[in-house]
Amino acid sequence: MNVQDKLAIITGSAQGLGKAFAVELLKAGAYVCLSDVNSEIGEKSMNELGERFGKEKVFFIKCDVLNKDDIVSLYEDCEKIFGKTVDIFCNNAGINHTPGWKLCMDIDIMAVMECTEYVLDKMDMSKGGKGGLIVNTASLAGIGPGVSREAASYFVAKHGVVALTRTLGTDNYLRETGVKVQCICPAFAQTAIIQNIDQYSAFSAVVKKFGVMTPEYVADAFIKLVTRCKTGDAIVVLNDVPPFIYQDYSREWTMVLAAGAKLFNSAFGVEIFTPRLQMVFLLAIFLAVHLLLYIIF
Ligand X SMILES: NC(=O)c1ccc[n+]([C@@H]2O[C@H](COP(=O)([O-])OP(=O)(O)OC[C@H]3O[C@@H](n4cnc5c(N)ncnc54)[C@H](O)[C@@H]3O)[C@@H](O)[C@H]2O)c1
Ranges within 136-155 binding ligand X (CB under 6 A): 137, 139
Ranges within 152-211 binding ligand X (CB under 6 A): 186, 188-189, 191-194
Residues β-bridged to residue 34: 10, 60
Which one, 179 or 237, has the nearer CB to ligand X? 237
- Judged by CB under 6 A, the residue of 58, 93, 134, 223 near ligand X is 93
Question: Do 74 and 9 form a contact (C-beta atoms < 8 A)?
Answer: yes
Q: Which stretch binds ligand X (CB under 6 A): 6-14, 171-179, 219-227, 285-293?
A: 6-14
Q: How many Cβ atoms sit within 10 Å of the Cβ of residue 206? A: 18
- Closest contact distance (angstroms) between CB of 264 and ligand X is 39
Site map 50..69 versus ligand X, x via CB under 6 A = -------------xxxx---
Active site residue: 31, 75, 154, 246, which one?
A: 154
Q: Which stretch binds ligand X (CB under 6 A): 9-17, 127-135, 225-233, 258-266?
A: 9-17
CA distance 296 to 105: 56
Q: Which stretch binds ligand X (CB under 6 A): 11-19, 226-234, 262-270, 284-292?
A: 11-19
- 51-57: long-range contacts, CB 8 A cutoff, minimum separation 24: 52/26, 53/26, 53/27, 56/31, 57/26, 57/30, 57/31, 57/32
Site map 95..114 versus ligand X, x via CB under 6 A = x-----------x-------
Distances (CA, A) of 238 to 184, 229, 243, 244: 11, 18, 7, 9
DSSP state of 37: S
Residues β-bridged to residue 105: none
- Judged by CB under 6 A, the residue of 45, 92, 177, 231 near ligand X is 92
Q: How many Cβ atoms sit within 10 Å of the Cβ of residue 30? A: 24
CA distance 127 to 153: 34
CA distance 114 to 170: 20
Ranges within 235-294 binding ligand X (CB under 6 A): none
- Closest contact distance (angstroms) between CB of 255 and ligand X is 32
- Judged by CB under 6 A, the residue of 7, 9, 10, 15 near ligand X is 15
Which one, 203 or 281, has the nearer CB to ligand X? 203
Q: Where are the beta strands (DSSP E) in 222-285?
A: 234-237, 244-245
Task: Collapse the DSSP code of 259 into the 3-class scheme (helix H, G, I; strand E, B; otherwise coil) and give the result.
Answer: helix
Q: Is residue 36 part of the contact set for ligand X (CB under 6 A)?
A: yes
- Closest contact distance (angstroms) between CB of 82 and ligand X is 20
Residue type, 244: F
154 catalytic per annotation: yes
Question: Do 176 and 232 form a contact (C-beta atoms < 8 A)?
Answer: no
Binding-site size for ligand X (CB under 6 A) equals 28
Q: Known catalytic residues? A: 154
- In the complex, which residues of this chain contact ligand X (CB under 6 A)? 11-12, 14-18, 36-38, 63-66, 92-95, 107, 137, 139, 186, 188-189, 191-194
